[in-house]
Amino acid sequence: MARGQTGQWGAEPFSAKDSRVAQVRRWAASGGLWLADLDGDEEPAGAIVVGDAPGYVPAAGRPELYVLALLTAARARGLGVGARLVYHAAALARDAGAAQVRVDCWDGVPELPAHYERLGFTRVGSFDVGGWPGAILTMEL
């Protein structure tokens, strides 16, 4: 919302929808939620959720770890928090014997897929879920 990209997450706070709160609770219970801090701050600087690919993307056909969510706190933007979380996910994937890390993101502005490409991902596809355009990207390990 603060960036004016309501097409990505919507125009209301994420916590305003019970279904989103339930999703976050499932992520927290899954074992795939990782938080980043800045110099021991009590407030997380970012978060990543990894696990199995969601049903709206094509199956990978080989072992992978999927980035289900990646968030950086506004105060931590530009400090490399998102990159560190992505590289942590890549290390987790390697340790598990995966061949790739995949992620999808909103394709409503070119900056979002480009951000993942700068981190080493390659765009491999697109999708649309109810008018929400998405890009699928892969990082080979």
CATH of the domain at 98: 3.40.630.30
With respect to residue 115, please indicate whether it lies within any of the assigned structural domains: yes
Are the beta carbons of 141 and 102 closer than 8 angstroms?
A: no
User: Does the residue 95 lie in any domain?
Assistant: yes
The answer to whether 85 and 93 are in contact (CB under 8 A) is: no
List per-residue pLDDT tens for the chain, 141 residues long: 444 555 555 556 767 889 889 999 999 999 999 999 998 888 999 999 999 999 999 999 999 999 999 999 999 999 999 999 999 999 999 999 999 999 999 999 889 999 999 999 999 999 999 998 999 999 999
In angstroms, rounded to a whole number, what is the distance separating the alpha carbons of residues 104 and 136? 4
Residue 27 included in any domain: yes
Q: Say how many domains are in the chain.
A: 1
Examine residue 112 and state whether it is found in any structural domain, yes or no: yes
Q: Which range marks the domain in which residue 95 is found?
A: 9-59+68-140
Query: pTM of the entire structure?
Result: 0.88
Domain contains 1: no
| Domain-embedded: residue 119 | yes
In a domain, residue 4? The reply is no
In what side-by-side order are the strands of the sheet with 33-36? 33-36, 46-51, 64-72, 100-106, 132-140, 122-129
- Asked, for residue 46, whether it belongs to a domain, the answer is yes
